Amino acid sequence: MRIFATAFALVAVQALCLATPAMASDPNETITLYSGPNFTGSVQEIAPVNTSCVRLDAVVESAKNISTRSVHFFTKSDCSGSEYVLGSLHGGNVPDGFASYVVTDPS
């Protein structure tokens, strides 16, 4: 009986370990958008998970990407126009501001 209980416990632990990668992004990863240059103004955090085109409610002028993903920012609200790529573990200003974004795996 003890062997059965130990085997069952090991299977349960393995199932939990296998389920972990399917969860949402690492809680220590963040992508933060700012309405002003140099990380000033209103702040909006977005999830560091892959997305299709996301339209922003207001133009954003700077961002910090503390994640393993890349963020592609665009000057037009339909993910067109000039593109600015903010790679993993980077931050900076965007000269023209941006109105939409797509989060992707690093390329």
**pLDDT per residue as tens digits for the range 4-61:** 444 444 434 343 333 333 334 577 899 999 999 999 999 999 989 999 999 999 889 9
The two structure tokens encoding residue 44: 């909006």
Q: What is the pLDDT of residue 101?
A: 94
Rounded CA-CA distance 63/31 in Å is 7
Sign of CA dihedral 37, 39, 40, 42: positive
* Cβ pair 53, 16 in contact under 8 A: no
Domains of the chain from N-terminus onward: 25-104 (2.60.20.10)
Question: pLDDT value at position 2?
Answer: 52
Question: Coil, strand, or helix at residue 4?
Answer: helix
Whether pTM exceeds 0.75: no
Strand extents, DSSP E, the chain: 30-36, 40-46, 54-66, 70-74, 83-86, 90-104
